[in-house]
Amino acid sequence: MDSFYVALTHSAEKDLREIAMLAKDYFQLPDSYRRYMENIEHRILSLEHFPLSKRICGTNRYSGAEFRLLKIGNFIAIYTVDHPNLRVNVMRIVYSKRDIELLIAKLCAEQLR
């Protein structure tokens, strides 16, 4: 089985930086902070092997892109899979209590631009 290339959008990179800043303030010990961030990275990179194993939570009716969710502790990574190009596009990494349906609707609207 081929492995997929995992890419983060600018929004996902910004989300990850914000998570890192919050985690740094939260964890008192540098090792705890490092392990926490490594876990997030490991979970995102796990999409290299089985990106289609996560559930579809929405579809862009114009492009046909299927949005999938990856649970990472208190966060959720929203991503799409470009199967022909063996690419996973992580669109956002957000707190799991956010309105995910609304966020996906916004992502669909952004793809139209």
Looking at this protein, which amino acid is placed at residue 111? Q
State yes or no: pLDDT of 5 exceeds 90.
yes
CATH number, domain with residue 61? 3.30.2310.20
What total of structural domains would you count in the chain? Answer: 1
The 10s digit of each residue's pLDDT in 74-91 is 899 999 999 899 999 999
Q: Are 58 and 25 in contact (CB under 8 A)?
A: no
Which domain, by its residues, includes 81? 5-112
Burial of residue 2 (CB within 10 Å: 0-12, 13-18, 19+) is exposed
Question: What's this model's pTM, rounded to 2 decimal places?
Answer: 0.86
Cβ neighbours of residue 77 under 8 Å, at least 6 residues apart? 12, 43, 44, 47, 69, 70, 90, 92, 93
